[in-house]
Amino acid sequence: KKSEVSEVMAKADMKPKSIHHAKKWSEEVENLYRFQQAGYRDEVEYKQVKQVDMVEYWPETGFVKKLQRRDNTFYYYDKQRECEDKQVHKVKVYEY
């Protein structure tokens, strides 16, 4: 997954080609949920806006640990799943 994101980062200001809503929960959906809660499409947009190379992940689960919102306040996330089944369909999955 990582190389995909850095590849996309090289083409700065990438826009997604398509978008669909998540059907079932997965690790990817969990992390997208966290980025979208903080006000970003995904990791690509977060890195572009915040000009950061690294996003902090929980080593145990691979979930996003903390994100900085556009107003510079921080969101801190648990190691455990936070995106409940009833939220999954709201998560947007972007294709580049």
Q: Tens of pLDDT along 43-71? A: 999 999 999 999 999 999 999 999 999 99
CA distances from 91 to 23, 54, 58 (A): 9, 22, 21
For the entire predicted model, the pTM comes to: 0.86
Q: What is the pLDDT of residue 82?
A: 98
Judged against a pLDDT cut of 50, whether residue 3 lies above it is answered with: no
Instruction: Take residue 33 and report the two structure tokens written for it.
Output: 């949920």
Here the tokens at position 50 are 């915040």
User: Which residue shows structure tokens 């809660």?
Assistant: 37
Scanning the structure block, which residue is given the tokens 């997604």? 16
| Rounded Cα gap, residues 49 and 30, in angstroms | 21
